[in-house]
Amino acid sequence: MEEKDIREAVRQGYGRIAKEAAPGSGCCTPSACCGAQAPDALAQKLGYEAEDLSGLPEGTNLGLSCGNPTALASLIPGEVVLDLGSGAGFDVLIASRKVGPKGRVIGIDMTPEMITKARANADKVGATNVEFRLGEIENLPVADGSVDVVISNCVINLSPDKARVFREIARVLKPGGRVAVSDLVLLRPLPEEVRQDVVAYIGCVAGAVLVDEYVEHLRAAGLGEVTVDSKGNTDAVGDVQDPLYRRILEKLPRGTSPGDFVTSIDVRARKA
């Protein structure tokens, strides 16, 4: 698949999710790779507290998470936070409470429908310290050295140019700034038939890379103190009743499952 085709497919796919507001139809969905659970139940399994989830407008949590970067980042009041692939505003609104009125949270998403939905959700809760900008994570509409923390939740795997994403992260971070990312990576290479499947790409499988490659991109961008916490493949095993799971399973070697190839990780790093 060409990069432009990947971006357009992802944009259209997540645009449909935003319009339908249908939890369980996108990246790391409850039915695709995190077990058949409702979005809030999945979020609590991933470490979100009931306090984090309370008061969020319906449809903010679309069940697209594979981790909890807002907790991973240990956010401090007054910080400026950037969320890559902010969707309907789930992590942005949670982070906005943690940084408080003197802090600020910026969400970036390349899907106009998600930006519209996120802004509406922010208005519903009266969040005045948040902002949503339309843009690609490979070309962040953010000034150099202006951000304390970059977070992202199951999104960077969707980028066809991950090296550039991490260079952009390093560019916008202040010296000493932190990275806290939850994402999906590969335990071993996928068959080419899966990698070329656009549905599997939108489902956060086909675009994933090996964990060593992921870490190398971070370091090549000038980000250090890299730590990776692998949560095993249980979050990526999926539900045999899910169409995406079955679609991928048909293209894997006999006796294997998606969980043998894909796993979820939490990554921390820092800009010198």
pLDDT tens, position by position, for the chain (272 residues)? 789 999 999 999 999 999 886 444 444 443 344 444 588 888 998 999 999 999 999 999 998 999 999 999 999 999 999 999 999 999 999 999 999 999 999 999 999 999 999 999 999 999 999 999 999 999 999 999 999 999 999 999 999 999 999 999 999 999 999 999 999 999 999 999 999 999 899 989 999 999 999 999 999 999 999 999 987 654 444 555 567 788 888 999 999 988 889 999 999 999 99
Residue range(s) defining the domain that contains residue 161: 3-271
Distance CA 173, CA 150 (A): 7
Q: What is the pLDDT of residue 103?
A: 98
Q: What is the pLDDT of residue 231?
A: 79
State the pTM of this model: 0.92
Q: What is the pLDDT of residue 35?
A: 43
Q: Read off the CATH number of the domain in which 51 is found.
A: 3.40.50.150
Number of domains in the chain: 1
- How many CB atoms are closer than 10 A to CB 210? 14
